[in-house]
A and B are shown apart, each in its own frame.
Chain A
Amino acid sequence: MPPGAQALSDAWIVVLVVGAATIASKAAGPVLVGRRELPPRLQGCIDLLAPVMLIALVVTQTFGGDEEIEVDARVVGVGAALVAIGLRAPVIVAMAVAALVTALLRLAV
């Protein structure tokens, strides 16, 4: 099977399951719960999930290789984006900075 065919069906499974799970998450309060509240400890965990997952994705995208840690042009690109974020640049600008710096380094090396 060509790689593209596998990637396509994988993508559709992800679309269906993530879509259903997200719809259920958004409906959880208004449909199921009414005015009740989550137990505080569970709430504490859920509150931390978003920052934990986002930073885990940052580390994976920056250093991830084929079952190894790779330090390459991406690190410089993401570092440049971090500077942009520190200067309060819009998200889209930070993304463009990261892509541009990384691409230029890959051309140069």
Chain B
Amino acid sequence: MSESANAAPRIRDGVRAALPLAPSPILFGLSFGVLSDATGFGGAAAVVMSATTFSGAAQFASVSVLDAGGTVAAAILAAVFLNARYVAISMTVSSIFPGSRLRRLVESQAIVDESWAISGRSGRFKWPILVGAGLFFYVLWVASTALGTVLGGVLENPDELGLDAAFAALFLALAVPYLRDRRARQAAALGAGIVLVLLPFAPAGVPIIAAAAACLLGLRR
């Protein structure tokens, strides 16, 4: 009994594996709460979004598009395009989820970039690690978002604080790991070009959505 328990990882092993990464969701969650509150997105909406979307980059994208005066459709599309990667990511782990469809639907929500990466570290994806790490990140993410919305209330003039530049810095830092790939660099450069061409006359939010067309470079073999 104990031998098989040693061989098979448990949920708590996933939590333990995720511990060193705890500062990341805490600090991100705090800043998402603060920024959402400061930009007028609203604290309650921010917390509900963290609890349902549970994906930092997409959440920041929606808030920043709305803050820049973009439409609801642009804010939605920017996040949906960003999270399309989860279709691909979830397919790499589709076979490790046990149980009924409903159970798989619920447990698949533990998939975030970090939990997915941790769960595959041994060379084979492990369900208890993915779910344990995801659950741990989820609790930290939602709780720190809520705390951030409370702290955000103390900011008086958010526009003077350089929040727009902070958003840009966040997206830049998140993009850097992807840009080690040559084709990703080409596509990102094309997307940036599309944005710069459209910015002078297209309504806010439209240039970002148009830039998504640059991913068609991926059609090439």
Interface residues of A (CB under 8 A from B): 3-4, 7-8, 10-15, 17-23, 25-31, 33-38, 40-41, 43-69, 73-74, 77-78, 81-82, 84-85, 90-92, 94-103, 106-107
Contacts and interface: CB of A to CB of B under 8 A. Distances in A.
A22 B205 CA distance: 20
Contacts of B175: 50-51, 54-55, 58
A48 B90 contact: no
B88 A43 contact: yes
Contacts of B83: 18, 21-22, 25
Which 7 A-B residue pairings sit nearest by Cβ, starting from the closest?
Answer: A102-B162, A29-B90, A44-B218, A19-B52, A81-B169, A29-B94, A77-B165
Given A55-B192, A56-B191, A60-B207, A48 B169 contact: no
Interface of B: 24, 27-28, 31, 40-42, 45, 48-49, 52-55, 57-59, 61-62, 64-66, 68-69, 72, 75-76, 78-95, 97, 101, 104-105, 107-109, 111, 160-176, 178-179, 181, 183-185, 187-192, 194-196, 199-204, 207-208, 211-212, 214-221
A74 B2 CA distance: 58
Given A28-B90, A45-B216, A68 B200 contact: yes
Nearest to A50: B85
Contact of A14 (B55, B75, B89, B179): B75
Contacts of A10: 66, 72, 75
Given A36-B94, A65-B199, A94-B169, 18 more contacts: A11-B41, A11-B66, A21-B76, A23-B109, A25-B86, A28-B91, A41-B221, A45-B216, A46-B85, A46-B218, A54-B174, A55-B211, A60-B68, A68-B199, A69-B196, A82-B172, A91-B169, A91-B174
